[in-house]
Amino acid sequence: MKISLEDVILIKNLYLSKQYGARKALSELPDKGWKLESIDSLLMRIRKTGTIVRQPGSGMTEFGT
């Protein structure tokens, strides 16, 4: 299941405001159907770049993982 833009914003806010990791986010919102690997990669991108915006020319055609 792809992660929507609204979900990405929610995950980022949980990470920044409450320091939630991937497992905590999954346990708090089990009905979303997210995969642990997807949340991990999103959080790694936030830690590395500080943003959820993709770089131009990244080759990705759709948002989410």
Range of the domain at 12: 5-49
Residue 45: inside a domain: yes
* Closest by Cα among 7, 13, 12, 3 to 65: 3
Residue 60 counted as domain residue: no
Residue 63 scores a pLDDT above 70:
no
Specify the pTM.
Answer: 0.77
Number of domains forming the structure of the chain: 1
Q: How many CB atoms lie within 10 A of CB 38?
A: 19
pLDDT digits (tens, 9 = 90+) for 12-43: 999 999 999 999 999 999 999 999 999 999 99
Listed in sequence order, the DSSP H helices in the chain are 5-18, 22-28, 36-49
